Amino acid sequence: MTTINKVKKVIPDEAIPEVGTKIVNRDGQDYLLVNDAMFTFYQRSMGEFTPFFLGMRDERKILGCRCTKCGIVRVPPLATRCPDCNFAPTELVEVGDVGKMLSTPPITYFASSLFQEQVPSGRGRIVLEGADTALSVNFYTTKGILVPGIVNRGTEMKVVFKDQRVGDITDIFCVPASELTSEQVARKGLLVSEIDWESAAEPDLPQQGPNDRGRFASALAGLRALAGEMNQCERAREDIADWKRNVHVKTAGGQMTMTIDNGDLTFEPGLVGDPDFVAVCADPMVLQEGLAYKGSLTQAMMERRLWISRNPEFTTIFKLERMARSLARSKKV
C-alpha cells in the first residue's frame, strides 16, 4: 500500500535517522554509535506583525508603518505607535520592492547545518523606496558564485519572492537590480521562477602565456595523483559518498573535466560530458593547492581566483575541501 503524503514536515523524513546502531572505526579502534532522538517543537505567533507576513505571502507586498503625525515610514512595521511623536498611532502602508544597500554587507560561507544549503548567502540592510528605515534581508547573485564586491553600500537591489511562500521572512530575498532587465526591476512581486539563474557570465581568462600550457599539464598531473590517493582513502571517499557531479574546469593553459562519482574523483583533459557547473580559474594550481590542502578553495573564490557558475554548487567545493583535509589527516601518523 502506498500513501502519498504531500504535507511538508518541519523535519523532513530523510533527515530522520532509522532506529539502530552501527560500528565506526576511527584510528584502529571500534566505536558503537547509537541513533537516538531529542526534539522540541514550538509554535510562535506573529502577533501584530501578521499583516506584514501575510502581505508578503498572499499579495507579494512589503508593508511598512507610517506615523500619522511625523510621517516616518518604518519597515518592517515594528511600531504601532511612533516613539518620536508622543506615541501617535501609525498606519500600514505599502513600500516599494526596490532599494539601496545601507552598508556593504557580509557574506556567509560556513553556516550551521540548518542553513548549509543556503550558503554562500549575503545578509544586508536595504532601504526600500518609500521607507525611512532599513529591512534586514538575505541576498544572492544570479551570475554564479556570490563573492565580496558584487553587492556594496549603495548597490540597488530588487526584492524577489519565492514561488512557494509560507509567511516567513525567508519568503523574500534580494538580487542586484543590475542583473535583471528593467522590465523585471519594474515588475511588482517578481518571482524566483521569473529569473534566469542559469546563464551566469563566465569571467574572461587571460591570453595564454608561454608558461601556461606547461603549468596546466603539471597541475593536471598533480590533480590526477591526488585523486588517485583520495580514491584509496576511506575518509576522503566518504566526503563525496552519494555525490555525482561533472565539472568543466577552464584555465588559461587548457581545459579539464573533474568527475565526482559516489566516492571516486577523476580528472581528464578536455571538456567531457554535460557539466553540472563550470569552474574558471586562470591558474590551475589554485585547484591543485586546494586539493593538496596547501591552500583554500573558498579563500580562492572570495579573492576571485576561482569562479563557479552556480551558487548552490558551493556545496561541492565544500566537499572537495573536506576531501583535502581527510587525505592530509590520513597521512599524519
Contact residues for Zn ion, defined by CB under 5 A: 67, 69-70, 82, 84-85
Judged by CB, which is closer to Zn ion: 81, or 331? 81
Asked if the bond preceding 210 is cis, omega within 30° of 0, the reply is: no
33 vs 70 by CB, closer to Zn ion: 70
For Zn ion, give the closer residue by CB, 85 or 192: 85
Cβ 63 to Zn ion shortest distance, Å: 17
CA distance 175 to 155: 10
The answer to whether 250 and 278 have CB atoms below 8 angstroms apart is: yes
CA distance 331 to 229: 10
Return the C-alpha cell found at 148.
Answer: 565580496
Q: Which is nearer to Zn ion, 88 or 221 (CB)?
A: 88
Decide the pairing of beta strands 88-95 and 62-67: antiparallel
Q: Which residue has the cell 583533459?
A: 269
Distance, in Å, from the CA atom of 51 to the CA atom of 93, rounded to the nearest integer, reads 11
CA atoms in the 13 A half-sphere facing the CB of 52: 23
CA distances from 27 to 30, 241, 294 (A): 9, 20, 24
Closest to Zn ion by CB, 65 or 323: 65
CB of 89 to Zn ion, least distance (A): 10
Q: How far is the CB of 131 from Zn ion (least distance, A)?
A: 14
Kindly tell me the burial class for residue 127, based on how many C-beta atoms sit within 10 Å of its own C-beta (0-12, 13-18, 19 or more). Answer: middle
115's CB contacts (< 8 A; 6+ apart) are: 108, 121
Shortest distance, position 51 Cβ to Zn ion, whole Å: 19
- Cβ closer to Zn ion: 69 or 224? 69
Q: Least distance (Å) from Zn ion to the CB of residue 114? A: 38
Q: Which is nearer to Zn ion, 134 or 200 (CB)?
A: 134
CB-count burial class (<10 Å; 0-12, 13-18, 19+) for 9: exposed
Q: How far is the CB of 64 from Zn ion (least distance, A)?
A: 13
| Residue 90 C-beta: closest distance to Zn ion, Å | 8
CA 4 to chain centre: 31
Specify the residue, 80 or 211, whose C-beta has the smaller distance to Zn ion. 80
Least distance CB 127 / Zn ion (angstroms): 18
User: To 10 degrees, what angle do helices 314-331 and 212-231 make?
Assistant: 70
101, 184, 261, 270 from 156: Cα distances, Å: 7, 13, 41, 39
